[in-house]
Amino acid sequence: MSPDPTDRQRLVRLLHEMPKAELHIHIEGSLEPELMFELAAKNGVALPYPDVEALRAAYAFHDLQSFLDIYYAGASVLLTADDFEAMTFAYFERAAADRVMHAEIFFDPQTHTARGVPLDTVFEGLTRACARAERSFGITSGLILCFLRHLSEEEAFSTLEQALPWRHQLLGVGLDSGERGNPPEKFARVFAKARALGLHLVAHAGEEGPAEYVRSALDVLHAERIDHGVRSIDDPELVQRLAREGIALTVCPLSNLKLRVFDRLSEHNLAVLLRQGVKVTVNSDDPAYFGGYITQNFVETFEALPQLGVDDAYMLARNSFEASFVSPERRRQMIERLDAAFAEAA
């Protein structure tokens, strides 16, 4: 018997309307071309593309590095606290429309300090936008400072030191940028320092890198969550461990498709990992570049993987709340909202 199209329509509506948390969003990757060109004009920055259309046409990435090249060029327009606030609040406006209740935002300070932008400028703009989002939309948020793994651990230490005056505004630290040739072990000492400071720890692993990088992120860096982690599937014992220990994966389906981690979304292993008890979550990664914010990631993934249904939607959303670094009271509030949304849809 073929699936009832009315049921699928109901499911898509639920994916749009259900509350959710986003745990893997690079704020620089939410910089839409229109705002990028607006800020470039304001700040007198020359972009290597004549217009928005030409820039969007360049978004035919063949791997992570080809994306990063454009990503870093786009970040060059961010010079003032107002620029960072405008970019971040624009993300929150889209997140509010997607029913995001809580967002844990990655940012790359080294991308900006290398251009002479003070870290204080970055923090000021981001924190102003986070405060506005809570006032305007009720979205709670936290900032996760990511170290660029293609740079040295010494540079990561310097960045962490520069961020200490803003310690009260930091939720945690992460590890991103090119994974190939940059194993988690490279950053063992700086993660130990961040852990001693009481910061939460996350790390990109198992996107382009092997399952072994996921293991190292857990055992060497003591990461509490794994960003991406889809290559964990290559190590059945690791998958069992992730499920047994309740370690969340912040999976980004449209990013994985755009960067050729999977050739087709129908080949994505999200459903397989979820069925094996892994705490999978759905996120947008760099939505301005990868074709969709969080709800679009849900919708396209559920369309490509028809085995996913209402129960899976609930579990993915609940996983995002359970894996977030919020207070028990805030987690309870969010799960209650989720339960109410599904009760209304029943």
Residue with tokens 């207070």: 327
Residue with tokens 């990088």: 213
What is the C-alpha separation between 171 and 106, in angstroms, rounded?
10
Nearest to 219 by CA among 243, 188, 186: 188
> 335: buried, middle or exposed (CB in 10 Å: 19+, 13-18, 0-12)?
middle
* Active-site hit among 28, 124, 179, 207: 207
Is 24 annotated among the ligand-binding residues?
A: yes
List the strands of the sheet with 140-148, edge to edge. 20-26, 100-107, 140-148, 170-176, 200-205, 225-228, 248-251, 279-282
Give yes or no: 208 in active site. Answer: no
Q: How far is CA 336 from CA 23, 318, 339, 340, in A?
A: 19, 10, 5, 6
Nearest to 160 by CA among 198, 194, 118, 120: 194
Locate the DSSP E strands across the chain: 20-26, 100-107, 140-148, 170-176, 200-205, 225-228, 248-251, 279-282
Is 204 annotated among the ligand-binding residues?
A: yes
What is the C-alpha separation between 300 and 295, in angstroms, rounded?
9
285's torsion region: left (phi>0), alpha (psi -120 to 50) or beta?
A: left
Is 4 annotated among the ligand-binding residues?
A: no
What is the C-alpha separation between 187 and 185, in angstroms, rounded?
5
Three-state SS at 108: coil
Is 16 annotated among the ligand-binding residues?
A: no
Residue ranges at the known binding site: 24, 26, 204, 285-286
Residue ranges at the known binding site for substrate: 286
Catalytic residue positions, numbered: 207
Residue ranges at the known binding site for Zn(2+): 24, 26, 204, 285
